[in-house]
Amino acid sequence: MNIMKSPSGDLGAIKSIFIQGPIPMEEITHWLEHHQSKTKDGAHDLFLGQVRADEVEGKVVQYIEYTAYEEMANPVYQQIANDVISKYKVSCIHTLHSLGKVESGQWSLAVLVSAPHREDCFAACRELVERIKSELPVWGKEVFEDHTTAWKENTKESTVHHD
């Protein structure tokens, strides 16, 4: 889902950031191609979240089954994107999150931030990813080779200040 800053600084309303199944490569290349005409941007930061084949008590994760409270998650995402775009000098944000089955090695989250300069681009992308992971009502259930399951737990890799 694409959010662009209008000349007045407002954001367009998003429909949904969710996509069924893994995020396809074509979606990412489509985003990138689309930006080659945006010559005021000097930086793009792309984050891809990939399902790891984690080993838990001798069993390896085969895929993650994602579910979400979509009616809540989309407005929460919209708020996060609004915050980020008003805090940093960025021109455009694209975000997709998977629902359903995503196998290890496949992508479940994609965030592309475009900006005139790299400093705001890196910072905005980092903050978006951290807030998406901690604030969106989304759940991942890890499914192992023997079909047993475990509810995924997110580790906090950094502290992001929202102000």
| Chain residues in the site for another protein (CB under 8 A) | 49, 66-69, 71-72, 75, 97, 108-109, 129, 132-141, 151-154
Q: How far is the CB of 53 from another protein (least distance, A)?
A: 16
Q: How far is the CB of 163 from another protein (least distance, A)?
A: 19
Q: What is d(CA 45, CA 92) in angstroms, rounded to the nearest whole number? A: 11
Q: What is d(CA 24, CA 26) in angstroms, rounded to the nearest whole number? A: 5
Q: What is d(CA 62, CA 76) in angstroms, rounded to the nearest whole number? A: 29
Q: How far is the CB of 101 from another protein (least distance, A)?
A: 15
Q: How far is the CB of 71 from another protein (least distance, A)?
A: 5
Pair 125, 131: CB distance under 8 Å: no
Q: What is d(CA 84, CA 88) in angstroms, rounded to the nearest whole number? A: 6
For 64, counting Cβ atoms within 10 Å of its Cβ (0-12 exposed, 13-18 middle, 19+ buried), the class is buried
Q: Which residue's CB is nearer to another protein, number 4 or number 19?
A: 19
Q: Which residue's CB is nearer to another protein, number 6 or number 13?
A: 13
* Residue 147: both structure tokens together: 């079909």
Q: How far is the CB of 64 from another protein (least distance, A)?
A: 9
Q: Which residue's CB is nearer to another protein, number 6 or number 154?
A: 154
* Residue 61: both structure tokens together: 């994760």
Q: Which residue's CB is nearer to another protein, number 38 or number 52?
A: 52
Q: Which residue's CB is nearer to another protein, number 92 or number 109?
A: 109
